[in-house]
Amino acid sequence: MRAGVAEVEARRIQPSAAVWGGLVVLLLLAAVFLFHETRGTALWFDDWMWVLGRRQTDAASFLDPHNGHFSLIPIAIYRVLFATVGLDSYAPYRVLVIAAHLVCVTLLFVYASRRVGGPLALLVAALLLFLGPAWSNILWPFQTAWLTSLASGIGALLLLDRRDRMGDIGASVLLMASLASSSIGLPVAIGLVVEIALGRRRWRDAWIVLAPLAVYALWWVLYQTSQTAPFTEDLMHAPGFIVNAVAGALSALTGLAGRTVPGGTPPAREWGYALALGGLALLTFRLARMRPVPARVVTLIAMALSFWTLTALNRAYLGADTPYSSHYRYVGCVFILLLVVELAPPLHLSTRTYLLGAGVVAAIVLSNLGAMRDGAGYLRGQAALTRAELGAIDLVRPIVKPDFVSTALPGYPFVVMRAESYFDVEDADGTPAASPAEIASEGELVRLSVDQTLIRAHGIALRPAAPGVALGARPAVESVTGGTVEERGPCVAFRPAQFTSGAAGGELQLTVPPAGVLLKAAGGTATVSMRRFADAYPKDPLGTLGPTGSARVPLRADLSDLPWHLRVTPEDRATVCGLG
Amino acid sequence: MRAGVARAPTRRVSPSTAAWIGLAVLLAAAAVLLVSLTRDTTLWRDEWTWALYRRGNTAGTFLEPHYGHLSLVPIALYRLLFATAGLDHYLPYRLLVIGAHLGCATLVFLYARRRVGAPLALVPAALLTFFGPTAQNFIWPFQVGWLISLGAGVAALLMLDRRDRLGDIAASALLAVSLGSSALGIPIALGLAVDVLWGRRNWRHAWIVGAPLVLYGLWWIRYQTNETERWGHDVYLTPSWVFSAPADALSSLVGLGGGATIDGPQSALTWGAPLGLIALAAIVWRLTRLREIPPRVLTLITIPVAFWVLTALGRAFFGAPSSGRYVYVGGLFILLLAAELARGLSVQRRTALLVAVVTAAAVLSNVSSLRDAAHVLRLQGSLTRAELGTLEIARPLVDPGYVSEGFLFDEIVAGPYFAARDELGSPAATPAEIAADPEPIRASADSQLVHIHGLSLQPSSGAVALGARPVLDSASSGTTTEHGACLSFEPAAFAPAAAPVALQVTVPPAGILVRAEGGAATVAIRRFAAAYPAQPLGTVHASGAATLHIGTDGAPQSWHVRVTPTERATVCGLG
């Protein structure tokens, strides 16, 4: 009789073929959806730090910390991609991060199915699979590093479950992989130390964690630099950070995260706080009923708490919204889901209850898909700006100074891309830079940004007008308001009307000849603005001429035939002549 | 001695009678408060759409959808009011919406009384009566359509309780009224379908819901236009919208919705989130204790959830779940559901007292929100009357296609407005009333008059005929000289920050000529306002001249001009 019950229990724990089939369908759907959503993205932010700074073949290129992280494995993977697919196409990078995410989900499913059975594990996996508020870890290839650490961590836990020599060796190797992929490996290691200490209670097994930790310590001594500058401030903020991080993760898991992309409204906190309180109450309630508390539960609590604490101690100074960053949400959610399935009491759900649960998960997934699309849209916007800025640098390649730095490139000032370094990379591995035609078809904000970069790269400014400067072709008049123009030889003279309506004054807009223009103001100042790809002139003018001043705006040819446009807003009269 | 005294018999009032008296006092107090708070309000926003464009006698006038809503009943009521009270008097409209709101509160009382007894039924009635964060629904008469839908829905539930032929017929008729008043009738119909089909398990009763739905379906096919084009991203917003809506309603019901405007509570989710989770836990706890989930509980879950889902799908892109009009609907059904779930629970005297105290505190808090919302509506009333007043003042000059300023959705177009005004009257303010309005409203009136008059600086062609000299209002940081029809202004060598260089004059009827010498001069204009607008009328450039002609209109108030020259300036009256 007893054997029969055990058999039934075992059948319940082993996922059926149907459940595996369901998982495969979910993974395929997610892969297609995520690949589609990441269309139009390109190397971004930290990606460029590695593109520019990790190109050598010396050990430091692989072993120097990245923002404090030991990133040997992801850097090696990126180096393989640089060497094989280059920088022109981002698709292989996108496939990489999507695959890493799907691996994490699959491992979570396997872990959960051994605790709560396949059908419930499927719901748990679905929550992580479409965790939109954690979009940056799912959509941005650079975060493969974190996913590798996490997947290795879950893999290590599964291998420790085997309780055999092979499993222990595998767990140790995976912990090493976790530590060598990102600092997420540290909380994973802390958790595994707790697991070995409480679960095995044998010093003989300490090697499982000590061996990888010794290697990590060696790296730390040799390569790690001090990252503790704002430590004291972070220490003060740590408790609040942890509460907010828990709130952020729980609101993401319930589809109540609100807006999750940077900028605009701050992250929604209301649901998170309430859920955190409710979660704490449930955790306390459940732990009080567990005698003794299983080692794995303590392991998972240690992992989660050490992750939030270590992150707080290093990142809390970045601001009150930092705990809600999508990459922190992902890690928090993984640890919370592992803990939930570990804490779950034996459940025998009726079909109706399961369907109700599936309906709730479906609603959460639907809500989180919106956040995922928002995140993907944000990344596409950043990619458009990145490609356009690179395109602008390509345009001025013949004339730009080697040490020119695009300050509009997403990631600046963390990403400092000198023109010379970029050209080296471009020659070696290609570039995702936009062509002039592509820049011209971008949104107005991108084109405004490109214009500013071109102005800086060209060194366009009002310059003293030396006497007897050679004149050339007359600028073409585009529009005149609040006055009249008269064309005299190579010049256009503006005379204001007797009056103008509203707040607007006189204004003259011209197409600039290839060599530039000479400007003169009379009777009042004249403000000068320039544009090229954008439809509108920038908010900040190029400069202002004094009441009787004159200045040159010389131009040099670059790789685009698109002319520059100039707007003069004079208080009184102004003359614009083409330079020879 | 004691035994010898016959005790006079004491006549105790039964708890039920006391509760009815309490309800009457509550409703009377609310009526007085609401009539008082809505003083000085007038037709606003969508009401003007109906006043201007729903005056014909074609079927379309009554049956065309209003933002997707079938509004046959409220449009018919408004038509009745147009014909009897006109547009001059808003009191009948206010009484209509207040009456509808108090009707809903009474129906909630009746519904709860049958579940938890009359004394406890006063709690939901009081909470709904003074549901301040949702004031838009009961201080703005236009929302009467929603209230009729809701009232008819609750009444239909009461009729279904009778379980007799008459009750079924009445429920069906009331559902038709609900569907004919606003789209709120749809979730109510879904709820009643659950009630009839799940509760009676007899297809023969399907006609109760089926008949009105068939009528609605016919209307939908004939008149409804596609309202689903924006469903794209709203689909993703729907789950969190639907989860937040009851939380917003809960916190607002208990007076913890935060400050409120006419649009609803401002921070309802702060308390709503924990309250929502607690309520969810309480519902699950209660349902697990009921052997079988009663059909009416499912009905009362279906109606608000359907309402939230449908609303989110159509409105999530611009309407938050905390919008007052949505919170009212959610709040009402949460109260009904609470009463339904509390059926059969015995409440101790001490608990009842605690509930009464909490209810009183919630009412007190929500009355504050109600006052704030009414204040906003009164300001909107003043603005509306002033903008209409300017149209009246400048009627001979206004182009029929002119779109009035001051209306969010451009509801007032001059031609249709004057047609409605001639037929039904107008709440427009007189010039004297505009002059007594607060400064921002007077500034709005000035802005509209400048546009209607088309005021702008005009070229000064050669010799212009001069007339009366402009009257000097003030001159700061400079000296003025009068010569003939002109005033010349010479700026002082320096101007203190508190008194910038400026010449202010009253404009003569025929207008003025402004001449700038040595530097530009900026010209600004005002009439009712005390201050000049930030945006000038124009700039006369150095050595330039311009004229400003202003046509006559129906207001006696003069125009004033401020000239701010960088050098000398001269202002002359035109002949």
pLDDT given at position B342? 95
Distance CA B460, CA A499 (A): 10
Chain-chain contact of A499 with B537 (C-beta, under 8 angstroms): no
Chain-chain contact of B536 with A366 (C-beta, under 8 angstroms): no
Distance CA B496, CA B357 (A): 60
pLDDT in tens, A491-531: 999 998 888 877 667 899 999 999 999 999 998 889 999 99
Report the residue from B240, B276, B544 with minimal CB separation from A367. B240
pLDDT band at B10 (very low <50, low <70, confident <90, very high): low
Are residues A135 and A326 in contact, defined by beta-carbon separation less than 8 angstroms? yes
Distance CA A524, CA B516 (A): 15
Report the residue from B239, B270, B536 with minimal CB separation from A502. B536
Report the residue from A270, A369, A499 with minimal CB separation from B541. A499
Chain-chain contact of B456 with A501 (C-beta, under 8 angstroms): yes
pLDDT in tens, B116-175: 999 999 999 999 999 999 999 999 999 999 999 999 999 999 999 999 999 999 999 999
Distance CA A146, CA A73 (A): 11
pLDDT in tens, A251-270: 999 999 988 998 878 888 99
The alpha carbon of residue A369 is apart from the nearest alpha carbon of chain B, in Å, by 6
In the predicted model, is pLDDT for residue B237 greater than 60?
A: yes
pLDDT given at position B1? 39
Distance CA B220, CA B222 (A): 5
Chain-chain contact of B236 with A274 (C-beta, under 8 angstroms): no
Instruction: Provide the b/e sequence for A46-60 (b: ≥16 CB within 10 Å).
Output: bbbbbbbebeeeeee
pLDDT given at position B566? 87
| Tokens read off for A400 | 């730009």
pLDDT in tens, A107-122: 999 999 999 999 999 9
Q: Which residue of A has its CA nearest to B540?
A: A499
Helices assigned H by DSSP within B225-348: 231-253, 268-289, 295-315, 324-342
Between A9-18, B248-257, B501-510, the lowest mean confidence (pLDDT) is in: A9-18
CB pairs under 8 A between A and B: 92
Please tell me what DSSP assigns to residue A200.
I
In the predicted model, is pLDDT for residue B229 greater than 60?
A: no
pLDDT in tens, A167-181: 999 999 999 999 999
In the predicted model, is pLDDT for residue A5 greater than 60?
A: no
**Virtual torsion, Cα A16, A21, A27, A29, nearest 10 deg:** -140
Mean pLDDT to the nearest integer, B375-404 = 96
pLDDT given at position B75? 98
The alpha carbon of residue A365 is apart from the nearest alpha carbon of chain B, in Å, by 9
Q: What is chain B's length?
A: 575
Chain-chain contact of B236 with A499 (C-beta, under 8 angstroms): no
Chain-chain contact of A367 with B238 (C-beta, under 8 angstroms): yes
The alpha carbon of residue A363 is apart from the nearest alpha carbon of chain B, in Å, by 6
In the predicted model, is pLDDT for residue B409 greater than 90?
A: no
pLDDT given at position B281? 95
Q: Are strands B521-526 and B512-517 parallel, antiparallel or unpaired?
A: unpaired
Instruction: Say what percent of chain A tops pLDDT 90.
Output: 83
Please tell me what DSSP assigns to residue B319.
-
* Position with higher pLDDT, B377 vs B8: B377
- Measure CA of the first residue to CA of the last residue in chain B; give whole Å: 106
Report the residue from A255, A373, A498 with minimal CB separation from B459. A498
Mean pLDDT to the nearest integer, A203-219 = 96
Between A11-15, A400-404, B19-23, the lowest mean confidence (pLDDT) is in: A11-15
Q: Which residue of A has its CA nearest to B518?
A: A523
Residues of chain A with Cβ-Cβ distance to B237 below 8 Å are 367, 370
- Best residue of A269, A270, A494 to probe chain B, by most B CBs closer than 10 Å: A270
In the predicted model, is pLDDT for residue A228 greater than 70?
A: no
* Position with higher pLDDT, A347 vs B323: B323
Instruction: Provide CB contacts within 8 A for B516, sequence distance 6+.
Output: B540, B541, B542, B543, B544, B545, B565, B567, B568, B569
pLDDT given at position B460? 82
Q: What is chain A's length?
A: 580
The alpha carbon of residue B243 is apart from the nearest alpha carbon of chain A, in Å, by 8
pLDDT given at position B137? 97
In which element (H, E) is residue B483 found?
strand B478-483
pLDDT given at position B24? 98
Distance CA A405, CA A402 (A): 9
Q: Residue B275: which of A252, A243, A274, A253 has the closest Cα? A: A274
Q: Which residue of A has its CA nearest to B457?
A: A501
pLDDT in tens, A72-109: 999 999 999 999 999 999 999 999 999 999 999 999 99
Give the amino acid at A278.
Answer: G
Map tokens 């280059």 to a residue.
A86
In the predicted model, is pLDDT for residue B33 greater than 60?
A: yes
Please tell me whether residue A326 adopts helix, strand or coil conformation. Answer: helix
Give the amino acid at B573.
Answer: G
Mean pLDDT to the nearest integer, A139-159 = 98
ipTM of the complex: 0.84
Mean pLDDT to the nearest integer, B10-33 = 90
pLDDT band at A25 (very low <50, low <70, confident <90, very high): very high
* Position with higher pLDDT, A368 vs A200: A368
Instruction: Provide the b/e sequence for B87-105 (b: ≥16 CB within 10 Å).
Output: beebeebbbbbbebbbbbb
The alpha carbon of residue A414 is apart from the nearest alpha carbon of chain B, in Å, by 34
pLDDT band at A224 (very low <50, low <70, confident <90, very high): confident
pLDDT band at A405 (very low <50, low <70, confident <90, very high): very high
pLDDT given at position A425? 97
Instruction: Provide CB contacts within 8 A for A222, sequence distance 6+.
Output: A63
Chain B residues near any Cβ of chain A (below 8 Å)? 233, 235-240, 242-244, 269-270, 272-274, 276-277, 456-457, 459-460, 514, 520, 535-546
Report the residue from B233, B276, B542 with minimal CB separation from A523. B542
Mean pLDDT to the nearest integer, B276-296 = 93
Residues of chain B with Cβ-Cβ distance to A271 below 8 Å are 243-244, 269, 273
pLDDT given at position A68? 92
Chain-chain contact of B273 with A275 (C-beta, under 8 angstroms): yes
Between A336-345, B34-43, B226-235, B445-454, the lowest mean confidence (pLDDT) is in: B226-235
pLDDT band at B500 (very low <50, low <70, confident <90, very high): confident
Give helix B324-342 / helix B91-116 axis angle, nearest 10°. 20
Chain CA centroid to CA A180, Å: 21
Mean pLDDT to the nearest integer, B279-295 = 92
pLDDT given at position B347? 87
Mean pLDDT to the nearest integer, B284-313 = 94
The alpha carbon of residue A252 is apart from the nearest alpha carbon of chain B, in Å, by 11
Mean pLDDT to the nearest integer, A547-552 = 90
Mean pLDDT to the nearest integer, B178-188 = 98
Q: Residue B561: which of B575, B542, B544, B546 has the closest Cα? A: B546
Report the residue from A270, A506, A524 with minimal CB separation from B269. A270
For A471, how many CA atoms within 13 A lie in the half-sphere containing its CB?
Answer: 16
pLDDT in tens, A448-484: 999 999 999 999 999 998 888 899 999 999 999 989 9
Distance CA B242, CA B329 (A): 13
In the predicted model, is pLDDT for residue A1 greater than 50?
A: no
Instruction: Provide CB contacts within 8 A for B525, sequence distance 6+.
Output: B446, B450, B455, B507, B532, B537, B548, B559, B560, B561, B562
In the predicted model, is pLDDT for residue B435 greater than 50?
A: yes
Distance CA A364, CA A252 (A): 9
Chain-chain contact of A373 with B276 (C-beta, under 8 angstroms): no
Chain-chain contact of B539 with A274 (C-beta, under 8 angstroms): no
pLDDT band at A226 (very low <50, low <70, confident <90, very high): low
